[in-house]
Amino acid sequence: MKKILVPTDFSENAFLAARYAAEMAKKHQYSLHIIHFYTAVSSGFDENELEGERVQSDVLKADLTMKEWVHRLQAQYPDTPISYHNDRGLLEEALPKEAKKEDYVAIAMGTTGASANKNIFWGSNTALIVAKSPIPVIAIPNIEYIPTVIKKAGLLTNFKQEELATLQEFVHIFKQEIDVALIHVYKESEKVASVNNRIDSWAFNVDEFSAVRQTDKLIAPTLKEDKNQDTIPEVLSTLIDTQDIDIILVSKTRKTFFERLFTSSVSKAMTLKLQKPAFFGKTI
């Protein structure tokens, strides 16, 4: 049975993400594997000087907490197979390595953790994992109830071939028919008629997918407020939040969205809070 890989720091935010993953697993016949990475905190001592007794204490605490955490999740999803383990290492390094193992279809993780409750788009750990992961990553916002029924997916598009690969990955994992909204932000200098012609032509490629019931388009110009400010994330956020979209599909070619979104200098864009899960295509 294929698995969804779910990292946890035992926070409530991580539990919400695990619950979303469990709903997905239940619907599409996947199992879950929960994983927690811990590091020894030296508190002034070199890591090599740490005594085995202290390390054993950390491991024991992680094991007990994991068992309680998984038991709580399993109680809500008794028919979903859930495995788990703790391992030592840094999340951003160890999780992509774990994801390379067989049988994982995707990583599902929260956008904020126990130490990252700031009003930012996605937590830095999530950003690092998305950038390094060899399999798709589903980033789940910290919201108590997120509908797991996916009727419409929003595909961010700049008319690149990689976007079709991301859509293919999504269809392969979710195994269902969907409507697709093509979302494109264009420069003010571009003519609307020209943009519409391009997106209509590109829509033919999406219509070729047997799982796609129908396509529509959402387009908007960049904002005029500040020429030095990257407003693409803000415009995208407005488009997505005002439409009936259940999940956002993002390919790695969306540099203006993906890379700048996680750059602290993009202060205004970074304070946005997108209230939808996002499916990031795997790193090629």
Q: How would residue 165 be classed by pLDDT, with cut points 50, 70 and 90?
A: very high
pLDDT digits 0-9 by tens, 53-99: 565 666 778 889 999 999 999 999 999 999 999 998 888 899 999 99
Residue of 130, 167, 125 whose CA lies nearest to 257: 130
Buried b (16+ CB within 10 A) or exposed e, 157-175: bbeeeebbbbbebbbebbe
Asked if 167 and 180 touch (Cβ cutoff 8 Å), the reply is yes
Tokens of 207: 């219509």
Q: How do strand 152-156 and strand 137-140 relate by DSSP bridges?
A: unpaired
- pLDDT over 70 at 43, yes or no: no
What per-residue confidence (pLDDT) applies to 49?
Answer: 46
Closest CA to 125 of 136, 141, 109, 138: 109
pLDDT band for position 108 (50/70/90)? very high
Q: What is the pLDDT of residue 198?
A: 92
Dihedral sign for Cα atoms in the order 258, 260, 262, 266: negative
Q: What superfamily in CATH does domain 3-140 come from?
A: HUPs (3.40.50.620)
Give 248's Cβ-side CA count (13 Å radius).
26
Q: With respect to CATH, is domain 152-280 assigned 3.40.50.620? A: yes
Q: Where does the pLDDT of residue 117 fall: very low under 50, low under 70, confident under 90, or very high at 90 and above?
A: very low
- Candidate from 40-44, 159-163, 216-220 with smallest mean pLDDT: 40-44
Type of residue numbered 107: I
Alpha-carbon gap, residue 70 to 87, rounded angstroms = 16
pLDDT at 189 over 90: no
Which residues of the chain are in CATH 3.40.50.620 domains? 3-140, 152-280
Q: pLDDT: is 242 or 130 the higher one? A: 130
Of 10-24, 66-80, 109-123, 204-218, the least confident:
109-123
Residue 184: CB atoms within 10 Å: 20
**pLDDT given for residue 46 in this prediction:** 46
